[in-house]
Amino acid sequence: GDSVTQMEGPVTLSEEAFLTINCTYTATGYPSLFWYVQYPGEGLQLLLKATKADDKGSNKGFEATYRKETTSFHLEKGSVQVSDSAVYFCALSRGGSQGNLIFGKGTKLSVKP
């Protein structure tokens, strides 16, 4: 079945460091790919998405590129801030009648000042 694998955390970085959180997927067809973020004490919210190969999603300085050849959707940010501390979830949706999201297990990021 379809699945999402993301790097295990926790990840601890210093402020202004470069961030990469790896995400790979297994799916039939051409899924849409998402990164969701859950800040401490808050609900899950969409960070960015890409719906077809080679698309780049971006938001709040974060980027991820849909790579069909490597079935990957790695999340990157050039300079993290303390306020980026959160749990990040990679997810896919096959669309159509199978519209539910399939999530990775989440990666906890802590950014130290």
Partner 1 sequence: GAGVSQSPSNKVTEKGKDVELRCDPISGHTALYWYRQRLGQGLEFLIYFQGNSAPDKSGLPSDRFSAERTGESVSTLTIQRTQQEDSAVYLCASSSDGPTDTQYFGPGTRLTVL
Looking at the Cβ atoms of 17 and 58, the one nearer to partner 1 is: 58
Shortest distance in whole angstroms from residue 100 CB to partner 1:
4
Tokens, residue 45: 């919210």
Residue with the two structure tokens 């000042």: 113
Closest residue by Cα to residue 33 from 61, 5, 1: 5
Looking at the Cβ atoms of 27 and 44, the one nearer to partner 1 is: 44
Looking at the Cβ atoms of 3 and 14, the one nearer to partner 1 is: 3
Paired strand residues for 62:
59, 77
Shortest distance in whole angstroms from residue 51 CB to partner 1:
7
Shortest distance in whole angstroms from residue 65 CB to partner 1:
19
Q: What CA–CA distance (Å, rounded) separates 39 from 31?
A: 26
Q: Which residues bind partner 1 (CB under 8 A)?
A: 4, 32, 36, 42-46, 49, 51, 89, 91, 93-106
Answer yes or no: are the C-beta atoms of 65 and 58 closer than 8 Å. no
